[in-house]
């Protein structure tokens, strides 16, 4: 029996009332759950219009410091940022409660074919491009997960012929074992170590995306990720470099640009698909994203659909996005760059330009020392803002990097723009999350864009 049918006779609770939490609550109410607790540490969530509407319709509020106390032994639906092993939850599980996340709820009810994407960076781009390729092939496609709106309301429209493409974060995978038809692990670098117990737990969560019969898709350059394919019926690797002679093994397929062409390599030979220049995004990381999407869709979508989707794709907001700024100054919004690794990828894509770089926000427990050498050569000046500004400054001290600490984001952006001369680039690539001052990276990027426009 599915969890929602069971939950109709239970007291249910939604834990965490962000975007996914309110979607979960709305879905449970519309599915016939009659007694629903809405739980969140922040009492201000009661003023959110979506939450307020649920309360008017009969949901029971549980806000403040005691939000996890005396939970029911029914269905507990957690938001991704809430660890499933909190003492309050493990105690309730022993009492008979079922703890599940939004994606677990979706997978329990979805009839669709499942394709999944995870990794430390590039998940949203690969998920979106994969969905666009399937759409171009005329298939019935739904994209979601960690990306965009909840797919729970779309369940009534799905059939066994539909395709669901899910971006899955380590938060979602920590207690989830989906069984996707194909799954890509794009990369694995230190991330979210302020939430996970360590790199071992983070990696283990990512690896849970691989079901027993899942076709695993991995970067050819990462031997530890490639090893996850050992023993699988089918493994696909993607790379910007063609495989060396004798490096292919039975069952493997490689994807790489050869002389500017996206090509499929196998023991049967080489199949040239379409020119890599069809992708309108710069940087090696974007090329790898394209290749991962091709690996996820090849054999299901025709080559023409791949080429058409890639040709029409212009990237996602806040990812190396050019925005209007002062005359003669280039402004680039890459607010999505929430780790040092992402910032380094963006700087590499912009080389040989040396931008005025805006760096800061709230840290993830990661080291900023790897930024020192690249910033010496790759940044004209660095403006540090937000909660992590002082920590980043300590990591940069003693290097040849010119930097200023301006904690307020608005003032930091205005300073960067005032220092820029015609021909300069002002880049927002923070290497940190936005949660010290913003709801999410989108809100941070939107303010950057508004300030750039106002300086014209």
Q: Which residues are catalytic?
A: 123, 146, 192
Beta bridge partners of residue 426, listed in sequence order: 331, 356
Torsion of CA 183, 187, 188, 191, to 10 degrees: -100
Q: How far apart are alpha carbons 456 and 448 in whole angstroms?
A: 13
Q: Where are the beta strands (DSSP E) in 132-231?
A: 141-145, 163-167, 182-185, 215-219
The answer to whether 331 touches 350, Cβ cutoff 8 Å, is no
* CB neighbour class for 67 (10 Å; exposed up to 12, middle 13-18, buried from 19): buried
Distance from C-alpha of 148 to C-alpha of 178, rounded to nearest angstrom: 19
Nearest-5° Cα angle at 163, 255 to 228: 45
CA distances 33 to 3, 14, 45, 107, 142, Å, are 11, 12, 21, 19, 25
What is the rounded distance in angstroms from the CA atom of residue 126 to the CA atom of residue 132?
A: 10
**Integer angstrom CA distances of residue 128 from 12, 234, 308:** 33, 24, 14
**Which DSSP letter does residue 242 get?**
P
């Amino acid at each position: 029996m599915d969890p929602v049918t069971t939950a109709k006779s239970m007291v249910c609770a939604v834990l965490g009332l962000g975007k996914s939490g309110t979607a979960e609550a709305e879905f449970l109410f519309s599915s016939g759950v009659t007694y629903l607790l809405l739980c969140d540490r922040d009492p201000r969530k009661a003023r959110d219009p979506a939450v307020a509407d649920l309360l008017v319709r009969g949901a029971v509020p549980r806000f403040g410091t005691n939000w996890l106390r005396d939970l029911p032994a029914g269905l507990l639906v957690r938001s991704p940022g809430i660890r499933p092993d909190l003492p309050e939850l493990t105690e309730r599980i022993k009492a008979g409660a079922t703890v599940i996340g939004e994606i677990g709820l979706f997978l329990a009810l979805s009839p669709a074919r499942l394709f999944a994407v995870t990794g430390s960076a590039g998940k949203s781009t690969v998920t979106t491009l994969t969905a666009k390729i399937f759409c171009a092939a005329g298939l019935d496609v739904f994209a979601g997960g960690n990306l965009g709106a909840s797919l729970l309301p779309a369940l009534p429209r799905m059939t066994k012929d539909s395709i669901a493409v899910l971006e899955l974060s380590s938060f979602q995978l920590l207690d989830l074992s989906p069984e996707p038809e194909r799954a890509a692990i794009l990369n694995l670098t230190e991330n979210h170590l302020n939430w996970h117990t360590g790199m071992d737990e983070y990696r283990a969560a990512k690896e849970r995306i691989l079901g027993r019969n899942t076709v695993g898709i991995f970067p050819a350059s990462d031997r530890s990720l490639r090893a996850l394919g050992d023993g699988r019926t089918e493994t696909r690797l993607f790379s910007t470099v063609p495989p060396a002679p004798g490096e292919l093994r039975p069952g493997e397929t490689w994807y790489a640009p050869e002389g500017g062409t996206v090509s499929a390599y196998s023991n049967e030979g080489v199949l040239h698909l379409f020119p890599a220049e069809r992708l309108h995004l710069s940087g090696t990381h974007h090329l790898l994203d394209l290749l991962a999407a091709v690996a996820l869709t090849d054999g299901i979508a025709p080559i023409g659909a791949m080429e058409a989707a890639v040709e029409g794709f212009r990237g996602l907001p806040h990812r190396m996005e050019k925005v209007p700024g002062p005359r003669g100054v280039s402004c680039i919004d890459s607010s999505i760059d929430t780790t040092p690794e992402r910032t380094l990828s963006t700087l590499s894509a912009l080389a040989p330009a040396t931008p005025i770089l805006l760096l800061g926000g709230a840290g993830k427990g990661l080291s900023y020392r790897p930024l020192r050498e690249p910033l010496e050569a790759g940044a004209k000046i660095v403006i540090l803002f937000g909660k992590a500004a002082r920590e980043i400054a300590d990591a940069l001290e003693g290097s040849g990097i010119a930097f200023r600490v301006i904690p307020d984001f608005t003032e930091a952006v205005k300073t960067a723009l005032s220092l820029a001369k015609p021909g300069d680039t002002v880049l927002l690539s923070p290497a940190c999350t936005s949660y010290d001052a913003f709801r999410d990276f989108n809100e941070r990027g939107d303010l950057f864009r508004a300030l750039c426009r106002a300086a014209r």
